Structure 1
Amino acid sequence: MRIARFVVNDEPAYGLLNEDDTLTELVGDPLYGGVQPTGNTHQLDDVRLVAPVLPRSKVVGVGRNYADHAKEMGSEPPASPMLFLMPNTAVAGPGEPITMPAFTEEVSYEVELAVVIGRIAKEVPEERVPEVIFGYTVANDVTARDAQRTDGQWARAKGFDSSVPLGPWVETDLDPADLEISGRLNGSTVQDGTTADMIFDVPFLISYISQAMTLLPGDVILTGTPAGVGLLAEGDTFEGEVEGIGVLRNTFRR
């Protein structure tokens, strides 16, 4: 299933995306009430998609989880997952303009597979990780590179407002083991990889993170980016795509 969050007539709602590009509106938030269709349908073109999930507590990032990206950043692949946290105020939606903050001159894109947690999870064994996953979406881990270099901690560099676009929807039926993942800057492909190249795969990551912190429904895990990251400029458009999910598109402004 593909579950979107949208606004129609100034009212937010969740919907099930159908093959004919219509949305069947759902009762409440499917993370908490399950997928309960109403009798209302909307044309996809008649609504405004917003971030498909609002993290209730946190976004967890995983740094340098692709060896080729670690190499291009001048680092060795990590021996264990490099974790960092971003506030839920960093989340933005598909199609939303992303404002690059005044404190940075070097803002870059990072297309990533994002995991949406569906139930409370603590110390989850790897073999039971699928039980706690609600679905998957596309993320862009927008990063202020100069702040990342100078701050030591990554909170400001990766957690500023609108730095984590998510979308266009959540796909609940997906095997994350070997998916094509790509990024296009103004129509030109700049990132091209596969999730099979992750150093630490999704089951390991969720199990590892849940050993340190309780994951709650709606929490989002960013799983790292392949090589090819680069800088964004005023007016640029970046499209992140993950096989089996779709395309997340945003424009950037100062």
Structure 2
Amino acid sequence: MPPLRTALLQSSGRPGAVEANLKTLDEAAARAAAAGARLLVAPELFLTGYAIGDAVPELAEPADGPGARAAAEIAVRHGLAVLYGYPERDGERIFNSSRLIGPDGTRLANYRKTHLFGCFEQEWFTPGEETVVQAELDGNPDRPADLLRRRVPENVRAHALAGTDLLLVPTAQMHPFQFVAESVVPVRAFESQMYVAYVNRTGPEGEFEFVGLSCLAGPDGTVRTRAGRGEELVIGEVDPEFLAASRAANPYLHDRRPGALYGSLA
């Protein structure tokens, strides 16, 4: 099975400007496809911007809304899978969601953020209830990818136990938490034996200062590719053969004793 070349779009786009952000996504998809990528991952709430305040209800849309249709057209036009973050409306509720679309335009997965961060998110969004949201990439059941937020270690381990190979982490990580990108993400990849594609916003936006530092971390805890602090598209490879060898050599998941030792953690 060949490696999955994965492109990480580190950008905050333009807050409140959906059409402009879709254009940025389209341009990034063209560049990623030209470099041989088969997956493009954009940050949390990329479609609308993060610091949009009381415009959240106005900009929120259903999971199959116009943003999803436009993203599907981008995926088909450039022949690669696309993940983007957006505010999802479901009746009276609004979720901080991420949508994964296949290269043929099929809507593969929709994840609703389960652990909301800070006053802004808790004011406007409803927490999701589904921890493991999984999809197949390249039509291969042996290459599952998950969508989640990396802030909670239990979530990452749940995905590992579900057999995830590649964890997609669209995020809006702000100052002073750059240590998450620098240290936590590679450690999560190592201790749960998977690849982690961590894709962040960057620069000032409203009251926030996003730190960038998007990365693709491997199951050995090393970073395969890393962005800086500005707008950037970086590309790395998810190698299934290396992942299989790493899992065979690493006893972390096999040595767990949940029935005997972990009852107090539930």
TM-score interval for Structure 1 and Structure 2 normalised by the shorter chain: under 0.3
Q: Which has the higher contact order (CA 8 A, sep 6+)?
A: 1
Q: TM-score, normalised by structure 1?
A: 0.25
Give the TM-score of the pair, scaled to structure 2: 0.24
More strand by share: 1
Q: Flag the structure with higher helix content.
A: 2
